């Protein structure tokens, strides 16, 4: 049954996700919670919570305790599953095959050099950090009733060093 959703996770990802993903997604489905609801309960951003579920973000002991409480999962089980550091980026093929993720990739393909040129004009030679970084997703509805996705990325500017 390749491609059938498994508790909010595409089954084609099953073997690539860390062990805690299965525990977290199963509990999320049982409780019928959104990432936004979980985020409000644990005091994190909804994108950060989703990143925790996919094994792409580091957790604190407080995060683990709060997730266990909100999701009704055994805390010691989560602690054992979430020990160590995230292994970021290994879940996804490049270029991405999932249409929404591909569209985000396509945005960078189409506008990447434009973003770079404008950022360099505003900040000088450097890069935007993906480590000192935050992001959020919002929904806007225009006067005609059309829904718009608003993705905000906020990264610390890191100027290149002269050596």
Instruction: Return the active site residues.
Output: 103, 106, 129
Total number of residues shown for the chain: 163
Longest dimension (CA), the chain: 55
Contact present, 11 and 3 (Cβ < 8 Å): yes
Q: Cα–Cα distance between 65 and 100 in angstroms, integer?
A: 32
Beta-carbon neighbour count of residue 14 at 10 Å?
Answer: 12
Beta-carbon neighbour count of residue 28 at 10 Å?
Answer: 23
The β-bridge relationship of strands 126-141 and 147-159 is antiparallel
Contact present, 71 and 28 (Cβ < 8 Å): yes
Number of H helices, E strands in the chain: 6, 4
Q: Cα–Cα distance between 38 and 40 in angstroms, integer?
A: 5
């Amino acid at each position: 049954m390749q491609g059938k959703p498994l508790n909010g996770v595409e089954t084609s990802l099953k073997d690539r996700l860390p062990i805690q993903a299965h525990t977290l997604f199963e509990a999320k489905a049982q409780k019928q919670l959104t990432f936004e609801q979980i985020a409000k309960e644990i005091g994190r951003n909804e994108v950060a919570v989703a990143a925790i579920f996919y094994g792409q973000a580091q957790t604190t002991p407080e995060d683990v305790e709060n997730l266990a409480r909100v999701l009704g999962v055994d805390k010691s089980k989560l602690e054992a599953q979430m020990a160590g550091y995230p292994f970021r980026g290994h879940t996804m093929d490049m270029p991405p095959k999932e249409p929404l993720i591909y569209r985000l990739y396509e945005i960078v393909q189409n506008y990447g050099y434009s973003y770079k040129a404008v950022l360099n004009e505003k900040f000088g030679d450097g890069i935007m950090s993906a480590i000192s970084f935050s992001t959020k997703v919002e929904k806007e509805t225009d006067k005609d009733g059309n829904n718009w996705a608003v993705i905000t990325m906020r990264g610390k500017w890191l100027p290149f060093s002269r050596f």
